[in-house]
Amino acid sequence: MLRKACVANQFYPGNPGVLTKTVEDFLKSGRKKERAIGVISPHAGYIYSGKVAGSIFSSVEIPDNVILLGPNHTGLGERAAVMTEGKWETPLGKIRINEELAGLILHSSHLFSSDTLAHLGEHSLEVELPFLYLQNPNISIVPITVMPAGFTECEEMGKAVSEAVSSYKKDVLIVVSSDMNHYEADKTTREKDKLAIDKILALDGEGLLNITHSRGITMCGVIPATIAIIASNLLGAKGAKLVDYATSGDTSGDYDNVVGYAGILIK
C-alpha cells in the first residue's frame, strides 16, 4: 500500500521546492559525516525542531537501509507496529519499505506485529523522511511505532532489532524519533533533559527508562530510545555524543511552556 503523507503543510512545507530549500537550510554543509549505529532526532514542526534535526542528520552518513523507531501518539494499532510492505509518500518522492529487513525484525520477537493502522495518522516517523531522503534518495525504511512498555519488553525488542540488523549484513542506521521534556518552563526542561541525555550518552537504556519515570521527564520517545540503546550496545556501540540541543522557547520566545529537542549520535 501507499502510506500518504499526513502532516505535510502542518509540520513541514508540502511544496517540494519549498521543502527542499527548508531542509537544505537546516542541514549543515561541509560538516564531517560519521558512520553511526543510530541517531536520535526530534519530530516537532520544523520551525521549532528543524535546526536540531538538521544538525544531527548533517553529522551522519545515511545508508540505504534505515530502521525508524518512534512513539505511537495516536493510540491506534498494535503496541509494537511494523509496517512490512509498500511505500511512504513524501512531497519529495516515494520511499519504499525494506520488506526483507522488516521481516527479519518481525520474526525476531513475538512482541512485534505487522500493522498498518498505527502508522496512518502518526507524525513521528514522517517528519524525519525529508532529511533522510534529501541526503540519500535511495533509502529504504522499516517504520516501527511503539507504545509504552517495561524494560523487559524493551530489552527483548532491542535484542530482536540487533539480531535482524546482524542477519541483514548490510549497513543499517537506526533512527529514533523523539522530542524531550514537554510543556514546562525552559529552565526545568533543560535540567530534566540533561538527566535523560546523560543516560543516553552513557548508553544506559534501563537508566534512561528509570530516570524518566522517577523524575517525570516527558520524553515521548523514551521507549524507542531505550530499544535503540539496547540494540546499539549489542551491535558494538562504543559511545554517544550530543550534537545539538534546543527548546521551543529558542524559536517562540515563550520560555514558560517549552518542549526540548536533542540530536544525539550513537556510534
- For residues 60 and 36, is the Cβ–Cβ distance under 8 A? yes
SS3 221: coil
CATH number of the structural domain spanning residue 197: 3.40.830.10
What average pLDDT is seen over the chain? 98
pLDDT at 25: 97
pLDDT at 116: 97
What number is the average pLDDT over the span 212-235?
98
- For residues 30 and 57, is the Cβ–Cβ distance under 8 A? no
pLDDT at 136: 98
Q: What is the DSSP string of 135-162?
A: H-TT-EEEEEEE----HHHHHHHHHHHH
Instruction: Determine the Cα–Cα distance for residues 76 and 200; give it in Å rounded to an integer.
Output: 28
Q: Mind listing the pLDDT tens digit for each residue in 85-134?
A: 999 999 999 999 999 999 999 999 999 999 999 999 999 999 999 999 99
pLDDT at 29: 82
pLDDT at 241: 98
pLDDT at 111: 98
What number is the average pLDDT over the span 172-200?
98
What number is the average pLDDT over the span 249-261?
97
What number is the average pLDDT over the span 58-64?
98
Number of domains in the chain: 1
Q: Which domain holds residue 177?
A: 2-266
pLDDT at 94: 98
List the one residue out of 78, 31, 101, 30 whose CA is nearest residue 59.
Answer: 31
pTM: 0.98
